[in-house]
Chain A
């Protein structure tokens, strides 16, 4: 289980797509260009993608992303 998750604030995101390009293994574009992950709003980030996720947080033009420590990690 990942220790980190990328939280998407949907009230801010305008589908610029920067995060989808930076995290192609974790996000795809939905029908309207918004970042899609089967996990929904809090996308688990494996250790190997942590740097890319940090970059996405910095490059999101709308400041819609934040990196959090995962709330529930199943034992």
Chain B
């Protein structure tokens, strides 16, 4: 039997469409629609070269799934890249990786003559460098910053050629799908989010390293915590989908299926002695330091927002009603005002903390903190 990347492109596209696969990099966009956005070679006014980039540089600081995947199964990622290139008639293939994965991948590529045209690139490690326009910029020899897009990458990406960027887990799922069949893949998980997912579970305040596990969108948060070896009763709050994600509590919703896996599958489970407002303040500060310094509202607004959240979190020294008003004003001034999603995602995180933890906010304003009190009680 021929290798899947030797199959007719129409057949590959039909399998991926039948699978219902969503991208695994965080945005969750249907893969077949991304493929269809690549113009036909005949299209006048577009370059004839077609580029596919596999992105394994996890911008999410707590995500480990792509690193684990690249170590465990580099060939499945390579297969997915070859299949994708065949499906969209691409002639240029790149893999964008962290330094840690380079050795494994270059060894894997040397074992396969058909993969010799794949070029490896080392990523500059930062939160926004994983953004797809930043990846395209870095491979093209420019800075790894997002750009103000005039044209989508599928029309004008790397050096002006139509370009497709896929997360490396997406590529490995593509290779799975062509081997098992799109219809069978579509029956796993939920209809809105089919197939298996890699998740990274982190546990601040708990012991132990992050856990990478495979799950599906019909699992619940409680299932995933058990799967990671965490007692759900030892968890007070959970950040779903990483630093641009949203907060949730361990209420009834934690027993319901996700339906869709949040973001790039990063789940942060807080222990009760960790104050969620403080944790949010720390993350907001970290995100503020990660801005690429290009766009004014992001460059000035995120540090100011981080300071306002910090004032609220630093009870009982500074928290005041004024801080809440400042936070709301600053969220309005950074949301949707930058070349990439970073400022909006940061504001969303803060908004979700205010919404999910009103009692903690009130406690801080009254000069108390529920998390540190729980330490005192248990001491």
Which A residues are closer than 8 A to B by beta carbons? 8-15, 30-34, 36, 38-41
Contacts and interface: CB of A to CB of B under 8 A. Distances in A.
A10 B298 contact: yes
Ranked nearest first, the 7 interchain pairs of A and B with the lowest CB-CB distance are: A40-B336, A10-B295, A9-B148, A32-B300, A34-B296, A11-B294, A30-B333
B147 A10 contact: no
Contacts of A14: 296
B39 interface: no
Contact of B339 (A10, A15, A32): A10
A30 B297 CA distance: 8
15 contacts: A8-B337, A10-B148, A10-B294, A10-B337, A10-B339, A11-B147, A11-B148, A12-B148, A30-B301, A31-B300, A32-B300, A34-B296, A34-B337, A40-B337, A41-B337
Contacts of A9: 148, 339
The secondary structure that dominates the A interface is loop
Contacts of B338: 10, 41
Given A31-B304, A32-B301, A13 B336 contact: no
Given A31-B301, A32-B300, A32-B301, A11 B295 contact: yes
B335 A40 contact: yes
Contact of B297 (A12, A34, A38, A39): A34
B217 to A, nearest CB: 29
Interface in B142-165: 145, 147-148
Nearest to B149: A9
Interface in B335-373: 335-339
| Chain B, interface residues (CB within 8 Å), range | 20 to 34
A13 B300 CA distance: 13
Given A9-B148, A11-B339, 4 more contacts: A10-B295, A10-B339, A12-B148, A31-B301
Contacts of B332: 38
Nearest to B294: A11
Contacts of B294: 10-11
Given A9-B148, A10-B148, A12-B148, A36 B333 contact: yes
B333 A31 contact: yes
Contacts of A38: 332
A59 to B, nearest CB: 18
Contacts of A11: 145, 147-148, 294-295, 339
Contacts of B337: 8, 10, 34, 36, 40-41
A36 to B, nearest CB: 7
Contacts of A10: 148, 294-298, 337-339
Greatest chain B CB density within 10 A among A12, A15, A34 is at A34
A8 B148 CA distance: 9
A11 to B, nearest CB: 4
Nearest to A68: B150
Contacts of A12: 148
Contacts of B300: 31-32, 34
Contacts of B298: 10
Nearest to B330: A31
Contacts of B297: 10, 30, 32, 34
Interface in B285-312: 294-298, 300-301, 304
A41 B296 contact: no
Nearest to B295: A10
Contacts of A8: 337
